[in-house]
Chain A
Amino acid sequence: MAEVPLLELAHARSGDKGDTANVGLMVYDERDYPIILKMVTPDRVKEHFKGLVQGPVERFRLDNLHAVNFLLHGALDGGGTVSLMTDAQGKVFSTALLRMRIEVPDEVAERVRGRGRHPGAGTGDSR
């Protein structure tokens, strides 16, 4: 087994609904969808965002799109116009989730290596 950032398996988009941020997570390769289902659980996501998300984390499956949708409740300091945060509308919670590190079989790690980063981006920190 090897540890890789979620960034190498999936892409994501996030948005807001009041004080809740949503993160839609989609795999690049549908073969990796079961890994996402198994490893990226609501509990693990809640732990990942500890201190940043005050409320519960919900996960919804969209097997038809090989995607999952997370609702991060209490993530936006009141949300929208109330929030003092730079990211008051939760636009970049998506990439914060893609920092999560997950365990995958070696051959998967080999197949996905380097994905998600600009080819000219160098080797900077990808936590």
Chain B
Amino acid sequence: MTRTVPRRTARSAANAPGPRSGARRGKVRVASGQGFWGDDLEAPVRQVNGGDIDYLMLDYLAEVTMSIMQKQRSRDPRAGYARDFVPLMERIFPACVERGIRVVTNAGGVNPAECARAVAGAGRRAGAGGGARIGVVTGDDLMDRLDELLASGHPLANMETGRPLAEIRDRVRSANVYLGARPIVAALDAGATVVVTGRSTDTALTYGPLAWEFGWPRDGWDLLASGVVAGHINECGAQASGGNCSAEWWSIPDLAGVGFPIIEAGPDGSFVVTKHPGSGGAVSLRTVKEQILYEMGDPSSYITPDVVADFTTIRLSEEGGDRVGVHGIRGRPPTPSLKVSVAHSAGYKAVGTLVYAWPDAAAKARAAARILRERLDRLGLAFEKVLVELVGWDATHGHLAGDPPPDLPEVQLRVGVRGPDRAAVERFTREVAPLVLTGPPSVTGFAGGRPRVQEIVAYWPALIDRRAVEPRVAVDMVEV
């Protein structure tokens, strides 16, 4: 790896204004290719081959993903990133190089450097060397800095409970700060055709390229806020283009070949949400609104590292032909803090299931749950929580579903336990199957074997003064 952007420049990558002075082109198209790690593997290929795009953004990270990757890296120093990204790049690299499509992703997880190395190898194997350079963003991983930070007056208190991180310090599994668009802009400015980050915000993967292309200034709050809204619409893949749409879902065509969303933005921040011609799904006011409201808190204050966007200022217009126009968005300066996502070990859990058949399926399942609980009590096992659900009746809507009818054809009993004592949870997993021969009749569905004990890795959101982080943010370049 060559560090073509020295630390000094990398610092300015985090702090300096956008380096471009003006727009390179009138319209920029940023295509969404993955909404989470595990999303449709063919979607990014369809985005590259299905029509003109300038950027492909791929979001791989969720809160818990970082701790899984941290565990992988502790076993193998070359692991700890979204491995799916490497074979994907091997498939699409030649087309991206040939057509000038840049790829921006947070696939780097807790090991962006190794991810970039692997992707460079994939590029060479695919014969895409020469025109390609990979920009690697680091500085988000606070795991090795935790004690230093705690000692120097950064309590990393839980945003919800106010408790200091010191209380759970020995159980921390990963700690990453959310970085915004500036390191992505710096990487593009250094000539990267692929940008690999660790814990970037999902939205920055879309508005980073827009900020660079159009030379948006650091204090262009309305422009950046527009980019954030574009990023929020793009970040969950097909959820903006007909997938998981509750408004007349049956009328949305060809979800088998669903087209993932594409943001077609102009220099003034206004943009159109669309998808490739001939692809499945739909882009309409309904599909776009549903995604805008997804995982929303206070809509007037959508906080990112670069800007606070006001979602109550969004103006939408249906343009027809799977095109929705978005404009009018206002933003204001960001906060002095950045958000930190800490994952920590928090006990154990297990979930067991059995299926009861007609007649009186629900009554049998409830009786079985009572027997199970009594046996757990007699064994002296204590849990922080025991949850009984009847899948097929009350698992999703609780008592709002009313009482089950006596002719319910079948129901799945689902019992979960959680607690700090691994041995107790382990013993629970051995108490489910015996119900088949020792409980109510007409029971089946236990062929999957004993439930698995899972370590709970819980999420601890915190804030940190951005000055403790930004000087460490760096961009390195890897030649393909």
Residues on A close to B: CB < 8 A? 11-13, 15-19, 22, 24, 26, 28, 48, 51-52, 60-65, 67, 69, 71, 77-82, 84-87, 92, 94-96, 98-99, 118-119, 125, 127
Q: Which residues of A contact B23 (CB under 8 A)?
A: none
Please, which residue of chain A has its CB at the minimum distance from the CB of B286? Answer: A11
Interface footprint category on B:
35 or more
Q: Are A61 and B387 in contact (CB under 8 A)?
A: no
Contacts A127-B400, A127-B402 given: A84-B294 contact, CB under 8 Å? no
Q: Which residues of B contact A63 (CB under 8 A)?
A: 312
Q: Are B246 and A11 in contact (CB under 8 A)?
A: yes
Contact partner of B400 (CB less than 8 A), chosen from A52, A60, A86, A94, is A52
Residues on B close to A: CB < 8 A? 63-64, 160, 244-247, 249-250, 286, 289-300, 311-316, 346, 349, 351, 385, 387, 389, 391, 395-402, 414, 416-418, 456-459, 461
Rounded to whole angstroms, the CA-CA distance of A64 and B312 in the bound complex is: 6
Number of A-B contacts (CB under 8 A): 129
CB proximity of B241 to chain A, nearest CB, Å: 14
CB proximity of B62 to chain A, nearest CB, Å: 9
Q: Are A69 and B299 in contact (CB under 8 A)?
A: yes
Rounded to whole angstroms, the CA-CA distance of A75 and B182 in the bound complex is: 36
Contacts A52-B398, A60-B300, A96-B397 given: A84-B418 contact, CB under 8 Å? yes
Interface centre among B292, B298, B315, B351 (most CB of A within 10 A): B292
Q: Which residues of A contact B387 (CB under 8 A)?
A: 77, 84-85
Interface centre among B247, B296, B351 (most CB of A within 10 A): B296
Q: Are A87 and B396 in contact (CB under 8 A)?
A: yes
Please, which residue of chain A has its CB at the minimum distance from the CB of B293? Answer: A24
CB proximity of B243 to chain A, nearest CB, Å: 11
Please, which residue of chain A has its CB at the minimum distance from the CB of B301? Answer: A60
CB proximity of A88 to chain B, nearest CB, Å: 10
Please, which residue of chain B has its CB at the minimum distance from the CB of A87? Answer: B396
Contacts A11-B247, A65-B316, A84-B417 given: A26-B289 contact, CB under 8 Å? yes
Q: Are A81 and B457 in contact (CB under 8 A)?
A: yes
Interface centre among A13, A19, A80, A118 (most CB of B within 10 A): A13
Q: Are B395 and A86 in contact (CB under 8 A)?
A: yes
Rounded to whole angstroms, the CA-CA distance of A54 and B80 in the bound complex is: 37
Q: Are A61 and B246 in contact (CB under 8 A)?
A: no
Q: Which residues of B contact A28 (CB under 8 A)?
A: 247
CB proximity of B303 to chain A, nearest CB, Å: 12
Q: Are B294 and A15 in contact (CB under 8 A)?
A: yes
CB proximity of A96 to chain B, nearest CB, Å: 5
Q: Which residues of A contact B245 (CB under 8 A)?
A: 11
Q: Which residues of B contact A71 (CB under 8 A)?
A: 297
Q: Which residues of A contact B414 (CB under 8 A)?
A: 86
Listed A/B pairs (14) with beta-carbon separation below 8 Å: A15-B296, A22-B296, A22-B297, A24-B292, A26-B290, A51-B398, A62-B293, A62-B299, A64-B312, A81-B457, A86-B395, A95-B397, A118-B249, A127-B401
Given contacts A64-B314, A92-B397, A119-B250, 15 further A-B contacts (CB under 8 A): A15-B294, A17-B295, A17-B297, A22-B297, A62-B299, A62-B311, A67-B289, A77-B385, A80-B458, A81-B459, A82-B456, A84-B351, A86-B396, A96-B400, A98-B246
Q: Are A64 and B313 in contact (CB under 8 A)?
A: yes
Q: Which 6 A-B pairs have the closest CB atoms?
A: A24-B293, A84-B416, A15-B295, A11-B247, A84-B387, A13-B290
CB proximity of B401 to chain A, nearest CB, Å: 8
Contacts A64-B312, A86-B389 given: A18-B250 contact, CB under 8 Å? no
Contact partner of B459 (CB less than 8 A), chosen from A12, A13, A79, is A79
Q: Which residues of B contact A78 (CB under 8 A)?
A: 458
